[in-house]
Structure 1
């Protein structure tokens, strides 16, 4: 008769980044600052679009909705992670996990839909310009005409970029330096952090340079290179997230197989010896009765 896994569970036990208390406090402050900067940045974008009548266009309407969706997106996971890191509680119920995943997928799909619509809007406008005259560069729309608000947005995006870069570098450093984190899950996490740094570097530095120089043009080759890089690193992030999800699935649904695949062979052999010993003792007790 074929054996089946009949184990039932009502909660998941999450893995923390580190057991070091000092490092946990550093990570707590880092993720909290990243979360606050991201939320405040998106709120400022929404406020700028609402308050400036020059920005009442379809492009900025979609941009404000994208900012709102981004706030909802990060709020599905980051606050829970921050609270768990502070309270040392690494348990999440099955219902909470299912709800979190549902909202996560919902807002990711909303982000992709808005980005697709914004890309199509830019495509229509650029094609109209190309049909009128031959062009070698594109002229981008700035976020606002107000110089003071423009420099405020510059410092905001610069701080978000630096915090994100430093945060991802700290994750890579933590995974590399702590031998307890030399597992497949954290290997993929460090690669995800590296990919995230490459992804934001494809667009944000160019935008910051344009804001300082008040030059809102980009050459056709530069635009093509930027789009290709975003697609490559965006696809790499999606692939890594898929692999990480499958890794967690195997660890939860097939824990014995997962341990056999990734643990030290000596530890696995010792566990098998203990299991065989316990089974032999039970068989001996049954035969004695």
Structure 2
């Protein structure tokens, strides 16, 4: 068998959540609603940040970027799934699958980096409040976002090019609702040792770095909070972190749940459902978390929507 020929197939089949035709309309309605709420919610956050001069701060600049990435992340997987559900088709082209892998990895990694950058912003604001405006200047904020994009683009490009070198012969069914990197690699008839090593090494490196930064930032924040004498003062300081902590817990908690679920069960539908939590549901919930737990965001949204402040 010629392992170097990767032109034998032109398409894959996305098996999705269920093959029961009676469930397709329900799934279509559910994910269409989630997608519309995700786009609308995150778009409102972005517009509120732009329109309100009081929100032109590093914290909300990073939040706007996170909201933009969440829209893009959902748009990478959900529209194709909706089209397949509506047309009763499971097909995605080879080029479409590689493209989906690239953009999915790009936006997931950006989420990962931006959450770490936002943790650093909270660390500077709480631990070095007198120097906050000097440290978190426009140049540094722009540089942090630029570096996050560069690292994410290079990572997604590396993984996508590694998939292009693989051959796919007869197994074309992907037990997922989108082209997930690990699921696609498992279908190849080529040697995947190099792909597996690169995938696990890079992912561990790029995930443990931001997580380590988040843990370090919050360890310093907790130490600073302990030094505050009044309970009210401690609560006021900690309340500025609750929205970010909630989003971090949701993103990494659901992401970890996917891998634990994959290791504990061989049910493909169960794995797809678990993946939907952090790829589809989490981007929808982020705007609600920030708007419900942050008074400044609430005020900006009311101004944007024409309500009284």
Q: TM-score, normalised by structure 1?
A: 0.50
Higher relative contact order at CA 8 Å, sep ≥6: structure 1 or structure 2?
Answer: 2
User: When the two structures are superposed, what TM-score results if normalisation uses the length of structure 2?
Assistant: 0.47
Larger radius of gyration, structure 1 or 2?
1
